[in-house]
Amino acid sequence: MPIKTKTSLLALTLASLIGSSAIAAPTQVLLLSPSEPVAYKAESESEKANALFEAIFMENVMASPISQTHLGIKTDYGKWDERGEEADAQDLARSQKHLKQVNEIDQSKLDSQTNLSYTLLKQKLEQEVNDYQWRYHSYPVNQMYGGHSMVASFLINQHQITDISDAKAYISRLNGVPKYLQQLEDSLEVRAQKGIIAPKFVFPHVLSDSKNIITGQPFDSGQDSALWADFQRKLASLDIDKNDKERLLSDAKQALLTKVKPAYVHLISYITELETKADTRDGAWKLPQGEAYYNNALARTTTTDMTANQVHELGISEVARIHGEMREIMKKVGFEGDLPAFFKFMREDKQFYYPATDDGREAYLNDAIALIDTMSSRLDEVFNVKPKAPMIVKRVEAFREKSAGKAFYNQPSPDGTRPGTYYANLYDMKAMPKYQMEALAYHEGTPGHHMQIAIAQELEGVPKFRKFGGYTAYIEGWGLYSEYFPKEMGLYSDPYSDFGRLAMELWRSCRLVVDTGIHAKKWTREQSIAYYVDNTPNAKSDAVKMVERHIVMPSQATAYKVGMLKILALREKAKKSLGDKFDIREFHTLVLKNGPLPLDILEDQVDLWVSQKS
């Protein structure tokens, strides 16, 4: 994940780990009312500290209308976040103030849970202050995320309309699009002046997504555009006077035609001009102080002190190990030929793919739901804590499926009124083979992201910055670990499905090699795509998307394997120490009960647990 300013990072974390937000926002305020003080009797240092932690969290939320909406707070429901030099400076000043406040706490007087919160928040704030120097080292618009696509996905998936005031706030946000997109252009121009411009391949994606938003009614003939259809659908559910409804529809249409369309036309023109200044250099090494920036990003992503070369070599080692396990499966199914031939067979044989039809896509979703239902029915074997929030499976919306990732998860509302959502991208059915479906469902759904993120949000006695924050190595490490341990439960009974599990793990191992290859070793886009194609059974379209993701999100993709291997190592360490006293359910509870943690602090928690049980 690129280094971002605090409010945008908070909003991005709340929206999702990688990708954009899903379904509608909840109908009620889910957190503290911003107009009411935190009700603490500050009799102890721990109580004072927790009051401060909540106040800091809320101050950050109230500086970000987007974050407020994600959390069900409607104070600034008709506004967008501010961006630019002034907003960045305000973020920095807020972090510096908060760090000073945290440093005034007497850590020696804190109870254990509050002490952990103190350690995490102090580290987080120190990193925010330090990372201010890298605030321009990102591409604010790209094929993975960006303000150009966020406007539509946010309004559609997060801005709920339950009354007339909500509808007016939606229209207010439509009217605010020109200012928001102008600030986005300004941020791109500041970066361009510093020599920070996305590679050429990014621009067609951004232009296509931007044009899609202003395609259809009322912008032109044909089907309703995504935003117009969304507003009409939400308004139709309101029981209000017909005249009020017609007036709101008229105001929304006016905003779309006179504000949204001109703003996007201007952005498209600017992006088209910026494209002429772009080149084909892909790695972070090309940026100002690029090596230092990438090393810092790698440290933030992995929460370790591993060097780029160590990450690279770990990836090469894991690729070799998994290739060996795949050869064993190849023998089991009686395939004659070498591993590349087996990859070709798995990539091309029609038995492994659903038809690229509406029925085929519906069958994929139904089968994914069935897999998750089966796992859910067996959770008591491996967990003694489960989330209260439900989860649904959905197809990625048409307006963003061409550029969106293969699959992703969006968190539920903290009160459970909005379910967690596992999104499957069914744009290219050749990129979604049947044999990878099981591992993908476990990673994105249950027991992966849904278990971890929903449980974190539901924790009691834990500050909100821990419930709604995140460490990519922990979160994605848990997701990948969740692909693995169902095999120990007897799942993946079909050898081809087990091959799919290995193929998914292989993919994440290749990421270690390619991410560091691109950003530290100056690999080209074509060289990087070839590495995936030569070493995995995945479709070439997968490889292209993955490499393009590496390029615009330096270090992010290294988190999965680093985190998974750490969790497995900690589990093995605990098993050896505890012997018969080791309980997998207790271990999983331990990993999840404190919310997301840096890997070194997770290790401290496991060591403490082992010492207490010994």
* Sheet with strand 420-424: strands edge to edge: 391-395, 420-424, 407-410
Query: What's residue 513's pLDDT?
Result: 98
Where is 574: in which H helix or E strand? helix 559-578
CA-wise closest residue to 138 among 182, 80, 190, 89: 190
Query: How far apart are the C-alpha atoms of 96 and 128, rounded to whole Å?
Result: 9
Query: 384 pLDDT exceeds 50?
Result: yes
Assign 310 a pLDDT band (cuts: 50, 70, 90).
very high
How far is residue 198's CA from residue 176's CA, in Å, rounded to a whole number?
A: 26
The pLDDT value recorded for residue 542 is 85
pLDDT-derived band at 124 (thresholds 50, 70, 90) equals very high
pLDDT digit string, tens, across residues 11-30 = 444 443 333 322 222 223 34
Question: Closest Cα to residue 89, out of 192, 10, 15, 7?
Answer: 7
| Mean pLDDT, rounded, of the chain | 92
Mean pLDDT in residue range 223-250:
96
Closest-CA residue to 503 (of 495, 515, 491): 495
- Give the residue-averaged pLDDT of 369-378: 95
> What share of the chain in percent tops pLDDT 90?
86
The residue among 401 and 4 whose pLDDT is bigger is: 401
pLDDT score recorded for residue 15: 43
Nearest CA among 483, 450, 482, 475 for reference residue 596: 475
Q: Report yes or no: 531 and 546 within 8 Å, Cβ to Cβ.
A: no
pLDDT tens by residue, 448-504: 999 999 999 999 989 999 998 899 999 999 999 999 999 999 999 999 999 999 999
Measured distance CA(436)–CA(434) in Å, rounded: 5
38-42, 188-192, 377-381, 523-527: the lowest-pLDDT one: 38-42
Per-residue confidence at 4, pLDDT binned at 50, 70, 90?
very low
Confidence band of 71 (pLDDT split at 50, 70, 90): confident
